Amino acid sequence: MPNKPIEPFRIKVTEPISLPSLEERIKGIEEAGYNVFRIRSEDIFVDLLTDSGTGAMSQNQWAGLMIGDEAYACSRNWFHFEATVKHIFQKRFVLPCHQGRVAENILFSTILKKGDYIPNNTHFDTTRANTMHKGGIAVDLPCRELDDEESDFPFKGNMDTAGLAAFINKVGPDKIPVVVMTLTNNSVGGQPVSMANIVETKKICERNGIPLFFDAARFAENAWFIKMNETGFGKRAVESIAQEMCAHADGIMMSAKKDGLVNMGGFLAVNDEDLAGRLKELLIMIEGFPTYGGLNGRDLEAISIGLMESLNEEYLAYRTGQIAYLGELLRQAGCPIIMPTGGHAVFIDAGKLLPHIPALQFPGQSMTVEFYRRGGIRTVEIGSLMFGSVDPETGETISPKRELVRLAVPRRMYTNTHMEYVADVATEIVKDKDKLRGYKIVDEPDFLRHFTCTMQEITENPAGVVSE
Ligand code: F0G
């Protein structure tokens, strides 16, 4: 039996969920154009679409909402928020905004020129889209260790620092307004980045006069893995590790919907006064006055409390333990997964599990549809559907390295019984894997197509499902 982490909380409020019938699920996914983003949330039993904005707030956070000060300017919650962000993230200027992608938009709109490059250990999809939207070129530089799926190297989220140095040499520092590190590295499996890699990346940036920014959505989970797995950090408090990580960055882009433990919120934090001033101009135009940035006073309060709670070590042991538990159960079910499991999700390698489905028929999507049809479980494809891009020279579609399905676990929301249910459904899918079919896109937008596109199964026979 794998280690079962015990929830370090008891449940005070419940929200009912129920499993629709098989007929309803088959009809529901068909009506959604085989796109799980289009299914009504009430028709979902266990929702592992994302860990973003979906977690449960604590009693202190709910209490915090009651002391919301909704003044237009300089509310008391703003001062609490500003002090908390400065304390953890070690920056002089804090700019609130309503979620992470706004932070990206404001930053890139301000510092990026057409044709500039943004290197990143791996872009998340909104970061990539915001870069491209402003005429920039997103460059992914994940570390080499990532290629060995079975290796238990604990910091597979690292930046390929040799690759970064070579890339800067090649295009020149003037074409790179910022280097970004994503902590943890969501798109490659929620894998953490080591402190040594942060230090090395910072050195390279400093040598070339390029600022280093963190995409810090899961900073607390990253700090926990440093404590657990990096020599010299075992006895340190996670809070102080997080502070040390952040001290190496010149700026932070944050989606507080993850390790802020809230349903909505984000911020930018920077050290450069001139940059802060320029960012503020756009912030005021698109989000709001700089002491609320599109958020309510009560939201700022909940974030301030959530950020500190996310650094609680009992919570982090349970949080990462639950992900590892789900990972182990899925392995036992016969699913190839990215190892070691990261901080917020388990990633199934659907390309490996379903070799009969070519990348451009979206094996990850096939499995995602099957999780819903069989178990009312919502997961998300992270493969050619989300990240497939068209080569501007040849016009051919380029697939990412892997065709993954992400099972992201909301924070403090589902019990271990829910995890066991998911693994039971996975066992059934693995048994019938040869019956799963590929998909083709019927209708798609220009950017972030996975959110809204519709698809069709490539077969006369619907895949797999025979009984409840
Ligand atoms: N950066 C990372 C690493 C993210 O994972 C996300 C969102 C964002 C930025 C954007 O933040 O949603 O607040 O605008 N990730 C979610 C996910 C959506 O499902 O992984 P946002």
Q: Residues 109, 272: contact at Cβ < 8 Å?
A: no
Give catalytic status of residue 423 as yes or no. Answer: no
Indicate which residue of 215, 250, 259, 299 is catalytic: 215
Atom number of ligand 1 nearest to Cα 182 = 3
User: What's the mean pLDDT in 181-202?
Assistant: 95
Q: Band the pLDDT of 243: cuts 50, 70, 90.
A: very high
Residue in the structure block whose two tokens are 């993954």 = 404
- pLDDT of 317 strictly over 60: yes
Give 23-61 as a DSSP string: HHHHHHHHHTTT-GGGS-GGG-SEE-S-SSS-SPPPHHH
Indicate which residue of 32, 56, 138, 217 is catalytic: 217
Question: What contacts 397, CB < 8 A, 6 or more positions away?
Answer: 360, 384, 388, 389, 390, 391
Give catalytic status of residue 124 as yes or no. Answer: yes
How many residues does this entry show for the chain?
A: 468
CA of residue 349 to ligand 1 center, whole Å: 21
Position 33 scores a pLDDT of: 96
Give catalytic status of residue 215 as yes or no. Answer: yes
Q: Whose CA is nearest to atom 18 of ligand 1?
A: 52
Position 142 scores a pLDDT of: 96
Average pLDDT, the chain: 95
User: What's the mean pLDDT in 403-416?
Assistant: 97
Q: Residue 456: beta bridge partners?
A: 440
Q: Rounded distance, CA 103 to CA 257, Å?
A: 13
Q: Residues 45, 17: contact at Cβ < 8 Å?
A: yes
SS3 label, residue 238: helix
User: What's the mean pLDDT in 373-398?
Assistant: 87
Q: Band the pLDDT of 465: cuts 50, 70, 90.
A: very low
Q: What is the CA radius of gyration of the chain?
A: 22
Residue among 194, 169, 184 nearest 119 (CA): 169
Q: Rounded distance, CA 266 to CA 244, Å?
A: 21
For ligand 1, is residue 187 a contact (CB within 6 Å)? no
SS3 label, residue 208: coil
| H-state helical runs in 287-415 | 297-309, 313-332, 350-353, 363-375, 384-387
- Report which of residues 276 and 148 the model is more confident about: 276
CA of residue 176 to ligand 1 center, whole Å: 23
Range with lowest mean pLDDT among 36-45, 187-196, 339-348, 383-392 = 383-392
CA of residue 51 to ligand 1 center, whole Å: 9
Give catalytic status of residue 160 as yes or no. Answer: no
Q: Band the pLDDT of 275: cuts 50, 70, 90.
A: very high
Q: Residues 386, 350: contact at Cβ < 8 Å?
A: no
Q: Band the pLDDT of 459: cuts 50, 70, 90.
A: confident
Give catalytic status of residue 356 as yes or no. Answer: no
For ligand 1, is residue 215 a contact (CB within 6 Å)? yes
For ligand 1, is residue 410 a contact (CB within 6 Å)? no
Question: pLDDT digit string (tens) for 58-99?
Answer: 999 999 999 999 999 999 999 999 999 999 999 999 999 999
Position 24 scores a pLDDT of: 97
Which of 258, 261, 295, 379 has most ligand 1 atoms within 8 Å of CB, for mutation?
258
User: What's the mean pLDDT in 230-235?
Assistant: 98
SS3 label, residue 113: coil
Question: What contacts 79, CB < 8 A, 6 or more positions away?
Answer: none
Give catalytic status of residue 72 as yes or no. Answer: yes
Which of 48, 49, 51, 52 has most ligand 1 atoms within 8 Å of CB, for mutation?
52
For ligand 1, is residue 257 a contact (CB within 6 Å)? yes
For ligand 1, is residue 378 a contact (CB within 6 Å)? no
For ligand 1, is residue 184 a contact (CB within 6 Å)? no
For ligand 1, is residue 52 a contact (CB within 6 Å)? yes
Q: Residues 218, 224: contact at Cβ < 8 Å?
A: no
pTM: 0.94
The number of C-alpha atoms within 13 Å of 69 and in the hemisphere containing its C-beta is 12
Atom number of ligand 1 nearest to Cα 257 = 13
Q: Rounded distance, CA 172 to CA 185, Å?
A: 25
Position 467 scores a pLDDT of: 40
- pLDDT of 460 strictly over 60: no
Element (H, E) at 266: strand 266-270
Residue among 450, 449, 468, 457 nearest 366 (CA): 457
Backbone dihedral angles phi then psi of residue 142, each to the nearest 5 degrees? -70, 155
Question: pLDDT digit string (tens) for 3-12?
Answer: 899 999 999 9
Q: Residue 398: beta bridge partners?
A: 389
> 179-182 and 137-140 as β-strands: parallel, antiparallel, unpaired?
unpaired
Q: Tell me the longest C-alpha to C-alpha distance in the chain.
A: 63
Residue among 170, 167, 157, 169 nearest 341 (CA): 157
Q: Residues 251, 211: contact at Cβ < 8 Å?
A: yes
Whether residue 427 is preceded by a cis peptide bond, meaning omega within 30 degrees of 0, is: no
Position 1 scores a pLDDT of: 65
Position 466 scores a pLDDT of: 41
Position 446 scores a pLDDT of: 77
The DSSP secondary-structure symbol of 170 reads H
CA of residue 460 to ligand 1 center, whole Å: 36
- pLDDT of 244 strictly over 60: yes
Q: Rounded distance, CA 130 to CA 109, Å?
A: 9
For ligand 1, is residue 266 a contact (CB within 6 Å)? yes
Q: Rounded distance, CA 458 to CA 461, Å?
A: 9
